[in-house]
Every structure is written in C-alpha cells, then in structure tokens.
Structure 1
Amino acid sequence: MRIVLTILFFSAVILAGYGFYIIAEDVPTGHLCIGLGVAMLFLVWMPTFIYHRWKGKNVQDYMLNKENIEKMRKYTDNNKL
C-alpha cells in the first residue's frame, strides 16, 4: 500500500507540474493536466492515504468520552511536578 501511495502522489505532482510547464504554450492542455493532477491528489490519493493510516485502529481511543477524560486527568495528576 505504501508503494501505491508513493506512486500516486508523485504521478499527481508530476502531472500538475507538467501542466504548469506547458501552460505557456498550450493553455487548454496545461489547465487540463493541472486539474487532473489536483483531482487525482484529492479524490484518489487522500482517501487512500486516510484509509491506510486508520486501518486497524480503534476510533474509540481518539474520542473524548467520560472514560478517556478520566484517564487524561489521572495521567496529568500522576505526572505533575
């Protein structure tokens, strides 16, 4: 998954960079390349990256509920100087 994310990221950046490079000569194609690169970055790469980072994690550990607030209070009370 990490290799796929790396390939997707660099291909989106290269596509947008190529669009900026050719925008002076061929305006419609340059804008198309920039748009496709940005769309690929936000519609394909970002959801894949978020899925990869959150896979196997418990969401309840990151939510503020009564139990987690009590854990934080106990932790800070025990580590005060």
Structure 2
Amino acid sequence: MKYVIRILFIAVVALVAIGYYHKNSGDHLTGDKWVGLGILGASFILMPLFIYHRWKDKKVKDYMLTEENLQKMRNHGEEEKTDKN
C-alpha cells in the first residue's frame, strides 16, 4: 500500500507539472485539463487511500473526547504541576 501511495503521489505531481508546462508554453486549455486531472486524482484517489492507510488498525475511541480520556488529561496536567514544585 505504501508503494502504491508513493507512485500515485508521483503521478499526481507529474500531471500537475505537465499541465503547468503546457500552460506556460501557451496551450492553456490542454494545461488546465492536465492540472485538473492531477487535482482530481489527488482528491478522489490519493487522499482516500492515504487516509485509509494511516487509520487502518487504529482505535477511534482513543482519539475521542470521552469522560475517561478527559480524566486522563486532567490527571496528566496535575502530575506535571506536582513534578515542577
């Protein structure tokens, strides 16, 4: 999965670079199409794959503000205050 994401990232950057090359050479319509394809690929293919890859096998409850997690944060802050004194 990691290599697929890297290859897609390089492809998106290449599409955008090719698009700006065409725009600078005077062919604005073709350049806009290439840039648009690159942005669409980044938005609808690369980003969802990246998010899935990073969140796979994670517990969402660890990142939610539940009463238990709030209590842990409060206790952690109190421990730091007592360590400084």
Same fold (TM over 0.5): yes
Matches within 5 A, 1:48-63: 48-63=49-64
Greater radius of gyration (CA): 2
Identity value in percent: 44
Show the 5 A alignment for 1:1-81: 1-23=1-23, 24-80=25-81, 81=84
* Counterpart residue type for residue 71 of structure 2: E
Structure 1 outlier segments of 4+, above 2 Å: 24-27
Q: Give the Cα separation in 2 of the matches to 1:21 and 1:31.
A: 10
TM-score (norm 1): 0.94
Structure with the bigger percentage of helix: 2
Gaps of 5+ in 1: none
- The Cα RMSD (Å) is 0.9
Question: What is the number of equivalent residue pairs in this alignment?
Answer: 81
